[in-house]
Structure 1
Amino acid sequence: MWMETFKSFLSIALELTVLFIAISFIINLLQSYIPYEKVEKFLSGKNKGLAALFALIFAFVTPFCSCSTIPVIVNMIKKKMPFSIVMVFLFASPVLDPTIITIMGVILGWKVTIIYTIVTAILSVIIGFLLNALGFESSVKNVVMTGYERETKNFNVKRALLETLNLMKSVYPYLIAGAAIGAVIHGIVPTEWIASTFGSDKWWIIPIAAVIGIPLYIRLSSMIPISQVLIAKGMALGPVMALMISSAGASLPEVVLLKSIFKKELVLTFVASVITMSTVSGFIFYLI
């Protein structure tokens, strides 16, 4: 059993390593061509629909986890960008990682990935504008955070390699941890138990998975290999996606950081919104 688990780990880890290095390098090269100044201009524009679209684009091209998103949020607030647009970016940034989404496409299939991207993008916009309409802008504290400066990039292969290595240092350990957990689930946890307990007819598992994902702080990079194994074992796609989105969209460390820039009512609303977003997404996959 343990030998089979180890072989499964090596297989998953090798596949993820090749994908991660190749995709990260390509994306780091392409980021050199992104006109960040124009993106920031559109984010501050009067056309809120266009600004929301560019917030999603900005979220997609900035591969941040939930915690590292916070300095960017503070910077956007300091530049007095519209609150609704800041919220759209806050919800979209951790769940729309270009490298991880590409890996998701290869591992889980492009149909699942496209639906995931569309659903999370639309819900991020809806929640962002709804929080603005409900007047939560008044719940933003007057804070100053230093240390976030965006550097101007030029097309540079050496720099792309260095950035890929730096990204590996911060993200790759979570990817390997996810592969290890997935391998253990694959080799030890009975398929019949997962299928019967978390199968497609268990709709009530979806909101439970959404709630459980918040304190776990399983990064999206870790959830991809775990999700692959859980689905292969018979777990329904709905609860898997709910768990994936909630664990990536919010975490206890992020909530602690948010308390420094948001008042209590907005922090609680943020957590509730992530759970709602995860649950709705899970039910969409459940129905599909």
Structure 2
Amino acid sequence: MWLETFKSFLSIALELTVLFVAISFVINLLQSYVPYEKVEKYLSGKNKGLAAVFALIFAFITPFCSCSTIPVVVNMLKKKMPFSIVMVFLFSSPVLDPTIITIMGVILGWKVTIIYTIITAVFSVIIGFTLEAFGFEKSVKNVVMTGYKEESKKFDVRAALRETLGLMKSVYPYLILGAAIGAIIHSLVPTNWIAGTFGSDNWWIVPIAAIVGIPLYIRLSSMIPISQVLIAKGMALGPVMALMISSAGASLPEVVLLKSIFKKELVITFVASVITMSTVSGFIFYLV
């Protein structure tokens, strides 16, 4: 049994490693062509609809996890960008990682990935504008940002390799952890139990998965291989995606960081918004 688990781990880990290295390198090369100055100009523009679109684009082209998004958010607030646009970026950046979304497409299928991308993007915009409409801009503290530096990138293969290696140091361990957990689930957890407990008829699993995902702090990179195995064993797509979105969209470390720049009411609303987005998204996946 343990030999089977090890073989399963090697298979999953090898597939993820090849995908991660190749996709990360290509994306780092392409990022050198991104006109960050123009993107920033549109983010600060008077047309908030267009600015929201560029906030999503900026979130997609900047591969940040939930914690590393915070310094960028502080910088955007410092530059007096519209609060709603900053919130759109805050919600969308961790869940629209370009490398992980591409791997998701290969592992889970492009239909699931496209629906995931659309849902998270639309919810990020809705939540961002709703928070501004309810006056949560007043809940932002006066924060002085230190240690953040914007960099302009140029096309450079060596630089892309360095970026890829740096990304591997921060993200790759979570991919391997996910592969290990996935291999254990694949070999040791009975298929009938997963299908019976977390199958499509048990709708109540969706909100529970959305709530559980936040304190677990399972990064999106770890959830991809785990999700692949859970779905293969019969777990419904709804709770899997709810867990994935909530774990990527918010985490305990991120909440702690947010408390340094947001007042309590905005932090609570942020967590509640992520849970709502995850839960509704899970039910949408049930329907499709």
Bucket of the pairwise TM-score, normalised by the shorter protein? over 0.9
Q: Which residue of 2 aligns with 1:269?
A: 269
Gaps of 5+ in 1: none
Over the aligned positions, Cα root-mean-square deviation in angstroms equals 0.4
Q: Give, in whole Å, the separation in 1 of the partners of 2:11 and 2:123.
A: 35
Is 1:137 aligned to 2:137, yes or no? yes
Q: Which amino acid in 1 is paired with 2:187?
A: G
Alignment of 1:117-132 (within 5 A): 117-132=117-132
**SS in structure 1 of the partner of residue 182 of structure 2:** helix
Q: Give, in whole Å, the separation in 1 of the partners of 2:6 and 2:150.
A: 41
Q: Give, in whole Å, the separation in 1 of the partners of 2:218 and 2:137.
A: 29
Q: Which residue of 2 aligns with 1:90?
A: 90
Is 1:243 aligned to 2:234, yes or no? no
Is 1:212 aligned to 2:197, yes or no? no
Q: Which residue of 1 aligns with 2:14?
A: 14
Q: Give, in whole Å, the separation in 2 of the partners of 1:211 and 1:153.
A: 38
Q: Give, in whole Å, the separation in 1 of the partners of 2:11 and 2:144.
A: 46
Give CA deviations for 1:109-150 in whole Å, capped at 9, x if unaligned: 000000000000000000000000000000000001111111
Among all aligned residue pairs of Structure 1 and Structure 2, give the percentage whose two residues are the same amino acid: 87
Q: Give, in whole Å, the separation in 2 of the partners of 1:145 and 1:228.
A: 39
**SS in structure 2 of the partner of residue 209 of structure 1:** helix
Give CA deviations for 1:210-242 in whole Å, capped at 9, x if unaligned: 000000001100000000000001000000000
Q: Give, in whole Å, the separation in 1 of the partners of 2:7 and 2:49.
A: 49
Number of aligned residue pairs: 288
**SS in structure 1 of the partner of residue 171 of structure 2:** helix
Q: Which residue of 2 aligns with 1:109?
A: 109
Q: Give, in whole Å, the separation in 1 of the partners of 2:95 and 2:107.
A: 16
Q: Which residue of 1 aligns with 2:287?
A: 287
**SS in structure 2 of the partner of residue 261 of structure 1:** coil
Alignment of 1:120-269 (within 5 A): 120-269=120-269
1:74, distance to aligned residue in structure 2 (A): 0.2
Q: Which amino acid in 2 is paired with 1:229?
A: V
Which runs of 4 or more aligned residues in structure 1 lie more than 6 Å from their structure 2 counterparts after TM superposition? Answer: none
Q: Which residue of 1 aligns with 2:80?
A: 80
**Normalised by the size of structure 1, how large is the TM-score?**
1.00
**Normalised by the size of structure 2, how large is the TM-score?**
1.00
**SS in structure 2 of the partner of residue 239 of structure 1:** helix
1:153, distance to aligned residue in structure 2 (A): 1.0
Q: Give, in whole Å, the separation in 2 of the partners of 1:113 and 1:151.
A: 30
Q: Give, in whole Å, the separation in 2 of the partners of 1:70 and 1:21.
A: 26
Q: Give, in whole Å, the separation in 2 of the partners of 1:79 and 1:151.
A: 16
**SS in structure 1 of the partner of residue 64 of structure 2:** coil
1:14, distance to aligned residue in structure 2 (A): 0.1
Q: Give, in whole Å, the separation in 1 of the partners of 2:130 and 2:152.
A: 34
1:80, distance to aligned residue in structure 2 (A): 0.4
**SS in structure 2 of the partner of residue 144 of structure 1:** coil
Q: Which residue of 1 aligns with 2:3?
A: 3
Q: Give, in whole Å, the separation in 2 of the partners of 1:267 and 1:136.
A: 10
1:151, distance to aligned residue in structure 2 (A): 1.0
Is 1:27 aligned to 2:27, yes or no? yes
1:263, distance to aligned residue in structure 2 (A): 0.1
Q: Which amino acid in 2 is paired with 1:162?
A: R
Q: Which residue of 1 aligns with 2:36?
A: 36
Q: Give, in whole Å, the separation in 1 of the partners of 2:80 and 2:217.
A: 30
Give CA deviations for 1:152-196 in whole Å, capped at 9, x if unaligned: 111000000000000000000000000000000001000000000
